[in-house]
Structure 1
């Protein structure tokens, strides 16, 4: 559990960090609101403990921006303040804070609120995983992939970095189901995902796009490097044995590739789809780069 701590008092930062570490959590420490936002957007967090009165950005201003950004909107936000009036509590909760601690801090209360926040974060993460994941293969689903791809595209445009996409289709998958039954087809899909994940890089994003079609987002990768990655994946799929009900068989995949440019994600998906069908027309079990 990663806990973002933001306070302009060095004593408070040290005390909060010590408490967080004693609980087995990882502290991420900022000395003002602007640095807190920078660390949150760059490194992510699970729980944030934010002082209300800070230089550059107040705790409430930090909370507003964290709630507005899709990457940080699900964090559990605890506001710390010396204010003791009820109207401030109402303002904090209405402004997006999930919890509120008054100064002077009581360590036992802080620990209790962090534990409560951790339970909420864990439950929220489980729900998000269920909503984002294909239940058969464990790959993320199409809706989640498109959301993350659009965020990645915005980041790539902001930092002028390359971004590419692969569309993969298991060749003649209907014959797999016809020959080995749907149970055999399910095993093939699961093994396919496992092989892809092993062959891809840690930051690459694999998705079950629909049926036997999959998509991969390749951050900081131009289309020509993507060809090498795609062919590595294709070879791994081709040479992998799939075991089901005492029988061993193999599958192959066709792959279409496109860079994602200023014309957006939908246009890149369309190009990758055209390249995928070109790979199929050319005999399948091959990689094609969009022209």
Structure 2
């Protein structure tokens, strides 16, 4: 596991790291608690935070509380506090501040490894629960809620002056596929389309036969090229469903991020462009031009 250690003493940090690293753990040590918190926030691979209560500039209890807030934002993180003065008050304060466990400083090897085995069990379970909560069960990609949340997070990183684009796509005549060949074939069609959506971006199933893609730091021109490539890939698919293979096509709508935009606005404009693609012949890529958005919104 990736473990972050925080203590004011470099001797203590070296001693604990020497106990952990031979067992395959990756250890990152800090004497500054604010720097440690920033590192944990930016490094998703961190699974365990071990901190003394006697740290600064953030106190140990404040560090525990801040780390717990990070863990509540859908990431597994186990927090262990250390203190050379083990008493009921310290233990209660640490647990009330978000710590999962409490050990004396310096810890014995046996106790430390036992605590980390518990941490590994819990964070593994948390990771699986998060995966189940965020994943569409049919396709294995993000569900609508997780897609929108990750898109909002990406928008914050991009900022007002950054680049980002969105693609919405919808399987053409999907109801006819379900009606003529059954829902099993419809599910197979959805899964086949999903397998083609292996792009560097945020990909999710928004519901039914509709998918969304958000491409951070990419302009509309690249999104249009991506959508065109995906359209051709879907067009070449063949699905088993009867005496002859079933052909599929998809329609695509593309939109681009602009200053002061929101994810909801970005997705809405792509949806308007997708509607235009569906109503003007299907199996097309349409970009959300300003006049098109105004016409559909009016």
Distance 1:238 1:116, change over 3 A: same
The yes-or-no answer on 1:111 pairing with 2:113 is yes
With the length of structure 2 as denominator, give the TM-score of the two structures: 0.88
In structure 1, the partner of 2:247 is: 250
Change over 3 Å in CA distance of 1:100–1:15 after alignment to 2: same
1:170 maps to 2:171: yes
Question: What is the CA distance between 1:73 and its match in structure 2?
Answer: 5.7
> For the pair shown, which has the larger CA radius of gyration, 1 or 2?
2
Q: CA RMSD in A?
A: 2.1
Gaps of 5+ in 1: none
* Structure 2 counterpart of 1:233, from 230, 233, 252: 230
C-alpha separation between the residues in 2 aligned to 1:250 and 1:99? 57
State the alpha-carbon separation in 2 of the partners of residues 247 and 121 from structure 1: 48
Q: State the distance in 2 between where 1:246 and 1:16 align.
A: 66
The yes-or-no answer on 1:274 pairing with 2:275 is no
Within 2, Cα distance between the matches of 1:214 and 1:183? 19
Partners of 1:255 and 1:147 in 2: how far apart? Answer: 22
Checking the alignment, whether the CA contact within 8 Å between 2:64 and 2:98 is kept in structure 1 is yes
Residue 134 of structure 1 aligns to a residue whose secondary structure is coil
- Asked if 1:24 is matched to 2:21, the reply is no
Is 1:142–1:210's contact at 8 Å kept on the other side of the alignment?
A: yes
1:260, CA displacement in angstroms?
3.3
> Which residue of the partner structure matches residue 33 of structure 1?
33
Q: Is the 8 A contact 2:139 2:190 kept in 1?
A: yes
Partner Cα separation in structure 1 for residue 173 and residue 216 of structure 2: 29
**CA displacement 1:38-60 (0-9 Å, x = unmatched):** 21122222221122222322332
Q: 1:211 and 1:246 mapped to 2: Cα distance? A: 26
Q: What is residue 15 of structure 1 aligned with on the other side?
A: 15
Distance 1:270 1:64, change over 3 A: same
Residue in structure 2 matching 1:285, options 283, 286, 294: 283
- Report the counterpart of residue 124 of structure 1 in structure 2: 126
Are 1:67 and 1:74, in contact at CA under 8 Å, matched by a contact in 2? no
- CA drift of 1:71 comes to 4.5
In structure 2, what is the Cα distance between the partners aligned to 1:246 and 1:11? 74
Uncovered stretches (5+) of structure 2, i.e. residues with no partner: 290-298
Q: How does 1:147-158 map to 2 (within 5 A)?
A: 147-157=149-159
1:208-232, Cα deviation, whole Å (9 max, x unpaired): 1000001112122222222122222
CA distance in 2, matches of 1:259, 1:59: 44
1: CA distance between counterparts of 2:231 and 2:17?
47
Greater shift in the superposed pair: 186-195 or 232-241: 232-241
* In structure 1, C-alpha distance between the alignment counterparts of 2:3 and 2:232, rounded to whole Å: 42
Q: Distance in 1 between matches of 2:10 and 2:203?
A: 42
List aligned pairs for 1:191-210, cutoff 5 A: 191-197=192-198, 200-201=199-200, 204-210=201-207
C-alpha distance in 1 between matches for 2:181 and 2:108: 63
Cα displacement (A) at 1:24: 2.7
In 2, Cα distance between the equivalents of 1:241 and 1:206?
22
How far apart, CA to CA, are the structure 2 residues paired with 1:182 and 1:134? 17
Number of matched pairs: 286
